[in-house]
Amino acid sequence: MNIKENDIIELLKSQDQFLRIASKTSVDNRISILKKLKSNIKTHEQDIIEAIYQDFQKPEFEVLTTELFVVYKELNLFIKNLKKWSKPKSVSPAWLNFPSSDKIHYVPWGKVLVIAPWNYPFQLAITPAIGAIACGNTVVLKPSEHAPHTADILKKIFDEVFEEQQAKVITGAVDTAKILLEQKWDYVFFTGSVPVGRIVSEQIAKHMTPHTLELGGKNPCIIDSTAKIDIAAKRICWGKFLNAGQTCIAPDYLMIDSKIKDEFQEKLISTLKEFYSESSYEDYTRLIHDAHYEKLTGFLKDLNIIYGGEYDAKTNFLAPTLVDSPDLSSPLMEEEIFGPILPIYSYSSFNELEEMISSFEKPLSLYVFSESKGFTNKVNETFDFGGGVINDTIVHFVNDKLPFGGVGASGIGNYHGRASFDTFTRKKPIVNRKTWLDIPIKYPPYTRVNSFKSFLNLFR
**DSSP label at 361?**
P
219 touches 249 (CB < 8 A): yes
d(CA 404, CA 125): 15
- Assess whether 214 carries a catalytic annotation: yes
Q: Strand 305-307 to strand 111-115: parallel, antiparallel, or no bridges (unpaired)? A: unpaired
d(CA 271, CA 255): 18
Instruction: Classify residue 279 as exposed, middle or buried by CB count within 10 Å of its CB (0-12, 13-18, 19+).
Output: exposed
Q: Report the sign of the C-alpha dihedral through residues 455, 456, 459, 460, in that order.
A: negative
Element holding 347 (H helix, E strand): strand 341-347
206 touches 178 (CB < 8 A): no
172 touches 144 (CB < 8 A): no
Active-site residue, from 62, 67, 74, 214: 214
β-bridge partners, 211: 188
CA R_g for the chain: 26
β-bridge partners, 415: 404
Residues that are catalytic? 214
